[in-house]
Amino acid sequence: MAVTIKDVEYVAKLARLEFNEQQMQKFTQDLNGILGYVEKLSEVDTEGVEISIHPFPMFNALREDIVRPSLDREEALLNAPEKEDNLFKVPKVIE
């Protein structure tokens, strides 16, 4: 499954990243190198083997639905690149 520049372009778009031509080529080469190495997983028989998302089985960690302190507005907006009237400011997204 060799990765082409077209694939890298597509994945970059999904990942919201931008590359120039030269970087695109380098990433194509790097990804092919790494995926070539990863290919060895096909040697492992996983027929009928369950997936493990966590190292050991975990179940929902539920708690009582009680109000507890959380970040106030000021703290939540502390690192906002741009804010106005106690809100995050973004460019217009609806035409």
Q: Three-state DSSP class for 21?
A: helix
The residues, any chain, with a CB within 8 Å of residue 10's CB and separated by 6 or more, are none
Helix (H) or strand (E) holding 83: strand 83-84
**Among residue numbers 10 through 49, which ones bind another protein (CB under 8 A)?**
10-12, 14-19, 27, 30-31, 33-35, 37-38, 40-44, 46, 49
Q: Of the candidates 2, 66, 67, 71, which one interacts with another protein according to CB under 8 A?
A: 71
Neighbouring residues of 4: CB distance < 8 A, sequence distance ≥ 6: 28
Residues that bind another protein (CB under 8 A): 1, 3, 7-8, 10-12, 14-19, 27, 30-31, 33-35, 37-38, 40-44, 46, 49-56, 58, 60-61, 63, 71, 75-76, 78-82, 88, 90-93
